[in-house]
Structure 1
Amino acid sequence: QVKYDHPMLEKILKDTYGCMVYQEQVMEIVRDMAGYSLARSDEVRRAMAKKKKDVMERERQIFVYGGDGIEGAVHRGVDERTAQKVFDQMMDFAQYAFNKSHACAYAVVAYQTAYLKCHYTAEFMTALINSFISSADKVAHYMRYLKQCGIKILPPSINHSEKYFDVQDGAIRFGLAALINVGDSIEAVFEERRKNGLYQDFVDFVKRNVSSLNKTQIESLILSGAFDEMGVKRSQLMEVYDRIFKNAQTDEKRALSGQMSLFDLSGQATLPAVELPDIPEYDDKLKLTLEKQKVGMYLSGHPLQKYAEQLMQEAWSVEKILARAENPETVRDMEGLTVELAGIFSQLKARTTRRSKQMMANATFEDLTGSIGVLIFPAAYEQYKDEIQMDEICRLRARVAVGEETELLLEAVQPYTGPGQKPAWSFKKQEYKKEKTPKPAMVRELRLTLEEEDINKIRAIKNALEGCYEVWGASVKVLVRSTGKRYTLKSVKYSAELREKLENILGMHNIEVI
């Protein structure tokens, strides 16, 4: 049963079950409870729309007690505590408020896209990927998602791919414009194919497109596997493509200038034949590495495939971690849990911290079941930077951090030797664990617990954190024990003073420093 903080709210919030959902509802509340005019209530709406908290805070005194020709809620018979509580709710609501028409339009779009994703998954994902086709990281992200969904991804093909990703027989064919260093100029290749038919072989392709492509683009097409269907090895084409391209350029110049060669007079082909060398294909590791450089991900195989049976014996996998972190029944057990798993680092971006200027990194770790983000703090990065090698199978030890996106906090890395491996993890940089009270600079997480969703305590917590926010500080996570809800707040600079403030609000037993 819906309960209203004041009878005036019932007619305003009845349609949304007592919750503030639309900006128009706030406009009605300030008019009915405090006597705002239509114009003044619209000013409040605009302040909310632009997320102007300072303006909203100034309106508090006017809303509760009156001023500037406004009567105020107290003078209209609303007790002060209720008026403050309602305004607190409006302040929280201002963080995500939209007008009704905007919200309804988004609801329709959300319903439509959800329907399309459910019933036309391949088509929906194809359109989504094409909207990010110029971002290799985004394309790779959604391609991994497709694999997890069981949707087949067809490799790049010079005769069957289009410029953009498209659906072919229920599978998604890789679009050539998504290849690194290829881009929009590939359109000429498709125009030529539509006009004069499929390409017969590599030489035919080069001859017909020599004026529209460069050698860098051709190299990307070769290493991505776009010519694999023609029965030639990538290693062979990489050996000869430069000569074939130069011959094609020479022939084109000769044709444009009206010159004739001995080959023309004798009736032979204008392109001198270039024989493919009798050399082996690249080994799997090199082939996949080169492929990933041009595609942004592995398509024809995976470096971990040969370890598939061993990896199945591991206690943890990426898929298992993410599934348990998303399950309401197991999420509490996962938060802060130390796990060990085997896989490869598929992405690594090192950077310096803002305050100490130390090196740290954000990485992506993947196994055959999925991928997960890994945060590598300076101490771990300094100790294990030599062991963290891209695309090399390894075993890592990390703590699970559950938030908007579950990620791992790296503790150690070692080479992978098998499922029975018992690594002697070393922690040269972890002496701070022996201290009873963590040093402020080493605190990575601040966990707060509320027995129930008490708006006054939540507001007091936010006030305590105000002025302590720091991008690379300790993440703040709040658990509401009665509902099981979890919230992640902005990171803060931890200090004894901050802890004392929080203890006064929550009590010592409801604060945990990691």
Structure 2
Amino acid sequence: VYQEQVMQIAQKLAGFSLGEADILRKAMGKKVFMLVQKEKHKFIEGCIKNGNSKPVAEKVFSFIEPFAGYGFNRSHAACYALIGYQTAYLKAYFPAEFMAALLTSDQDNLDRVAIEITECREMGIEVMSPDINESFEKFTVITDKVNGKSKERIRFGLNAIKNVGHTVARAIVEEREKNGKYKSLTDFIERVRHKDLNKKSIEALAKVGALEKFGERNALVNSIETILAYSKNYNKLASTNQNSLFEASEIKLPEITLAKVPPASKKDRLSWEKELLGLYISDHPVKEYADYFQKVALPIKHINSEHINQNVTIGGIVSKVKKIYLKNQKTMLFATIEDLDASLEAIVFPKVLEVTESVWVEEKIISVSGKISNKDGELKILVDSAKLVTLEDLDHFKRILTTQKKNGNYESKKNISPTKLIITLPPNFNQDILKQLSAYLDKCESGKIKVYLIIENSKLETPYNIKLTDKTISNLKAISPTAQISVS
């Protein structure tokens, strides 16, 4: 029995109006016992008035009453199961098209877009920067031939670029569809004569790489005034010549010449992408630190409910900072830390902020240690300590890696190796794990790396000093996949 059938039974047997039948449906669906009993009395009376016996009315009601316990869930489960099957089918057989549609539907939610682009990468689908000759208004699948085989990629939509309005995006696409691809910057400016193609929109297109086929990003940005002057002169001449013997197509102005300036730095390019697309698309500032964070930090995407109340270390770029001024005239801070695949909100209380304030600057690369909390139903890290990760740290780490390759382990004759191995066990861990860890560490070769355990926020020093290798780390992770293993 489903909702609509309950309403039909009430209408035909008890003479309920559509509105009255809906009240009965809601009472059952929301399991309001008192209201169900009231409606039951009304239902039986209605059935008797319509010539049905009381026993029949009671039997019918007893048949539909259990609906309150399963009907709503079952009918919705069937719908969701069908939708789930359809989406799974589309994602399996049309992965690029499915992800492009998903990105378009979420283009106003940058957190979702970032997650979905990461998923695209894991699926082997490249998401490319906007391009004036390939992008449409929405995220679009582009098919190219690579070594004789078709390769599908997703091109960023023009609507998703900040400062490029929907009307401008539509004008760019419609003109291209009508008269072909844009051959040059001059050709683009002459053909797209939309009132909203102004300084902000042209600059945004240049900064995100949409005009990169016509010139390097920094050269375009430094030529905005030249481009605007050309557009103004061309439109003026076109307007004048509409009333003359000449056609607009006969207007000839010198080609736009771009400024001769150094190319945009990687930092500038990524900063522009973050500002105007809401995320990094051509590269990621954390990428060159990936090996470093792989050794000393837990990837944010791996943090889950098992880590609640555990101490962890994460690393990434500071993407948002918000200071809060408290009544006691002290300051606390909320920040978003973003690594290659995910982001996490960090909460910095006044005492910690006093000693780490210089760290909390947007676009700085940092490492953060603290306890995972599910405050407000969302996972966050309550910061105990934080530090900048500098290029010097990266160089130091690379020297360690070089030494590892030479020695085949983590220890260095030059005294630049880590000295601690820290194993953080999850809450409610199986006691057998401790026995397995102890048995394995007993077999490890003696060395200079001291082993520590963190159990329920307590740091315990073990009697083990071992020689650490990549195989050691792998074996420890195999014993306890949910444990966090770090070296310092």
Give the TM-score band, short-chain normalised. 0.5 to 0.7
The aligned runs of 1:33-72 (5 Å cut-off) are 43-47=23-27, 49=29, 56=32, 58-59=34-35
Q: Separation in 2 of the partners of 1:397 and 1:242?
A: 47
Q: Separation in 1 of the partners of 2:96 and 2:376?
A: 26
Which residue matches 1:255? 238
Cα distance change of structure 1 residues 48 and 201 upon mapping to structure 2, 3 Å threshold: farther
Matching residue's letter, 1:276: L
Contact 2:207-2:273 within 8 A present in 1 as well: yes
Cα distance change of structure 1 residues 117 and 405 upon mapping to structure 2, 3 Å threshold: farther
Deviation at 1:131, TM superposition (A): 2.0
SS at match of 1:373: strand
Which residue matches 2:218? 235
Which residue matches 1:163? 137
The aligned runs of 1:476-487 (5 Å cut-off) are none
SS at match of 1:303: coil
Q: 1:416 aligns with which of 361, 383, 389?
A: 389
Q: Which moved more, 1:163-172 or 1:373-382?
A: 373-382
SS at match of 1:229: helix
Q: Separation in 1 of the partners of 2:6 and 2:301?
A: 43
Q: Separation in 2 of the partners of 1:135 and 1:358?
A: 33
Cα-to-partner distance string for 1:291-327 (whole Å, 9 max, x where unaligned): 21111111111111222332232242224435xx5xx
User: Are 1:374 and 2:332 matched, yes or no?
Assistant: no
Q: 1:345 aligns with which of 296, 318, 325?
A: 318
Contact 2:366-2:389 within 8 A present in 1 as well: yes
Contact 2:335-2:360 within 8 A present in 1 as well: no
Cα-to-partner distance string for 1:332-369 (whole Å, 9 max, x where unaligned): xx23111012111234466789x99997666542222x
User: Are 1:396 and 2:368 matched, yes or no?
Assistant: yes
Cα-to-partner distance string for 1:121-175 (whole Å, 9 max, x where unaligned): 2111111221233444543342233234432112211112122111123211111
Q: 2:82 aligns with which of 108, 112, 115?
A: 108
Cα-to-partner distance string for 1:212-257 (whole Å, 9 max, x where unaligned): 5122111110000112233x22111111122222222222112212
Cα-to-partner distance string for 1:392-443 (whole Å, 9 max, x where unaligned): 100111322469986222213221254889xxxxxxxxxxxxxxxxxxxxxx
RMSD of aligned C-alpha atoms? 4.5
Matching residue's letter, 1:195: K
Deviation at 1:371, TM superposition (A): 0.9
Deviation at 1:69, TM superposition (A): 9.6
Contact 2:100-2:141 within 8 A present in 1 as well: yes
Contact 2:300-2:344 within 8 A present in 1 as well: no
Q: 1:336 aligns with which of 289, 303, 309?
A: 309
User: Aligned residues, how many?
Assistant: 357
Q: 2:198 aligns with which of 202, 214, 218?
A: 214
Q: 2:175 aligns with which of 155, 167, 192?
A: 192
Which residue matches 2:414? none
Q: Separation in 1 of the partners of 2:374 and 2:77?
A: 29
Deviation at 1:177, TM superposition (A): 1.4
Q: Separation in 1 of the partners of 2:361 and 2:191?
A: 41
Contact 2:27-2:35 within 8 A present in 1 as well: no
Which residue matches 2:439? none
Q: Which moved more, 1:126-135 or 1:268-277?
A: 268-277
Deviation at 1:179, TM superposition (A): 0.6
Which residue matches 1:293? 275
SS at match of 1:308: helix
Q: Separation in 2 of the partners of 1:23 and 1:414?
A: 58
Q: Separation in 2 of the partners of 1:405 and 1:114?
A: 28
Cα distance change of structure 1 residues 320 and 217 upon mapping to structure 2, 3 Å threshold: same
Contact 1:376-1:409 within 8 A present in 2 as well: yes
Matching residue's letter, 2:204: S
Contact 2:300-2:342 within 8 A present in 1 as well: yes
Q: TM-score, normalised by structure 1?
A: 0.58
Which residue matches 1:312? 294
The aligned runs of 1:72-151 (5 Å cut-off) are 98=72, 101-151=75-125
Contact 1:358-1:378 within 8 A present in 2 as well: no
Cα-to-partner distance string for 1:105-135 (whole Å, 9 max, x where unaligned): 3321221112212332211111122123344
Q: Separation in 1 of the partners of 2:330 and 2:124?
A: 41
Q: TM-score, normalised by structure 2?
A: 0.61
SS at match of 1:140: helix
Cα distance change of structure 1 residues 23 and 364 upon mapping to structure 2, 3 Å threshold: farther
Q: Which moved more, 1:163-172 or 1:313-322?
A: 313-322
Q: Separation in 2 of the partners of 1:234 and 1:228?
A: 6
Contact 1:24-1:100 within 8 A present in 2 as well: no
Q: Separation in 2 of the partners of 1:38 and 1:380?
A: 70
Q: Separation in 1 of the partners of 2:238 and 2:351?
A: 62
Unaligned runs of 5+ in 2: 46-54, 56-64, 144-151, 398-426, 428-488
Matching residue's letter, 2:182: Y
Q: Separation in 2 of the partners of 1:350 and 1:61?
A: 54
Which residue matches 2:147? none
Contact 1:362-1:373 within 8 A present in 2 as well: no
Deviation at 1:41, TM superposition (A): 8.6
Which residue matches 1:440? none
Cα distance change of structure 1 residues 149 and 345 upon mapping to structure 2, 3 Å threshold: farther
